[in-house]
Amino acid sequence: MAESDPSDRVSWENVVYIADFLIRSNDHHIALLGGEPTLHPQFVDMTLYLLDRGFHVTVFTSGIMADERLAELKAFLTAFPPERLQFVCNLNNPDQTPAMKGETEKIARFLTALGPWTTPGFNIYRTDFSLDFIFDDITRFNLHRQVRIGMSSPIADEDNLYIKREDMKKVIDRLYGYRPLFEKLRVQPSLDCGFPLCDFTDEQLGWFYRMAGPISFGCGPAIDIKPNMDVYSCFPLSNVRKRSLFEFNSIQDVLAFYLQLHDQIRRDVPGAFDECTACVYRKEGRCAGGGVCHHREVSGL
């Protein structure tokens, strides 16, 4: 929705077009991402507009924003119930990923103001991650009793930090180690895409199910739309097969197009990892065999 470059901000015309496009597709959910979407000078106005058009809006934010912007959010958006408007605030462990000066205080101010509308998110990019701070934040700021947990994925044609295949089980085991805290505080662990089914023990699977319901081990297009109306399958595949939203008639058309891309990636190598080829769970469709972003071939497409 908004990058630091003012020319890369979504326009009102495009917001109306996207809203029409989704409504025509009978899709009434929209997520606003960035960069940092709250940087957009008309963030509050555009969000109100989408809410007025009947959308359920999810905003992915760092929580770091000017005090004036936070005051706007509080004044204009909190009239909507958390069922209609939700913030997902990705939080970092202050010890492992130290914030820049003043950032921690800003995030605290955001969570104080909008805690009941906020689900904390945590992105795992190292195997020795620590989650304790998030449980403190959930209690302190009255956040949703749910944590969105993602594993950092490789971005095609870029050199970023991510969890390697051989480390995924370690990550799952470490996450499971927080079981007492999840249970004590009744916090749901909500897993994003990319976790492979085979790395979970039956005991772990049962526990996750009991706490948060079924886990999807699939990998499909999430569909990101850029301010210039470019679309791509999902952030890790942002450099692969970009198209313009104007080329499509509905979100179902966009999904079908990127499902073809996923199929193409999987045609030769069915799963992202060596063991996926013979895996019965992949064959039976219960696991996608890791995210397609893990395929080495992606960068060549």
Partner 1 sequence: MSYPTLLCPHDPALFDPLKGHNVAVRVDRPEDVCRAAEEVDSAGGILNRIIIETDRPLSALPIPGDWDGIPVALFAPEMGRYRDLSDTIQKLYDFKIHVYFPAGNAENLVSCRILASLGVTCCLAFDEREPDWTALADLMTYAAFGPVPHAPIEPFHHMASHYSPGACLDWGALYFDDPREYLHLDSRGRVALSRHGLTKGLFIADHISSIRDPLENEGYMKGLNAWRRHFLEDHPCILCEGWKICLGRFGSDGRHRPGCARFAADTLAEIEQYWSQRQDDSREART
Binding site for partner 1 (CB under 8 A): 11-13, 16, 19-21, 23-24, 42, 44-46, 48-49, 52-53, 72, 76, 249
* 21 exposure class (CB count in 10 Å sphere: 0-12, 13-18, 19+): buried
Which of 44, 269 has the CB closer to partner 1?
A: 44
CB of 19 to partner 1, least distance (A): 7
Question: ∠11-12-16 over CA atoms, to 5°?
Answer: 120
Helices in 66-218 by DSSP H: which ranges?
67-77, 103-114, 132-141, 168-176, 179-184, 202-212
Which of 15, 171 has the CB closer to partner 1?
A: 15
CB of 72 to partner 1, least distance (A): 7
- Can you say how many angstroms the Cα of residue 97 is from the centroid of all Cα atoms in its chain? 19
Sorted by sequence, the CB contacts under 8 Å of residue 141 that are 6+ apart come out as: 108, 111, 112, 115, 118
CB of 229 to partner 1, least distance (A): 13
Radius of gyration of the chain (CA): 19
Which of 11, 96 has the CB closer to partner 1?
A: 11
Rounded to whole angstroms, the Cα distance separating 205 from 116 reads 29
CB of 298 to partner 1, least distance (A): 33
Sorted by sequence, the CB contacts under 8 Å of residue 22 that are 6+ apart come out as: 28, 29, 30, 55, 251
Which of 50, 163 has the CB closer to partner 1?
A: 50
Q: Which amino acid is at 19?
A: A
Which of 41, 206 has the CB closer to partner 1?
A: 41
- Can you say how many angstroms the Cα of residue 213 is from the centroid of all Cα atoms in its chain? 18
CB of 57 to partner 1, least distance (A): 13
Ramachandran area for residue 26 (φ above 0: left; ψ -120 to 50: alpha; else beta): left
Q: Which amino acid is at 104?
A: T
Rounded to whole angstroms, the Cα distance separating 187 from 23 reads 33
CB of 262 to partner 1, least distance (A): 27
CB of 148 to partner 1, least distance (A): 28
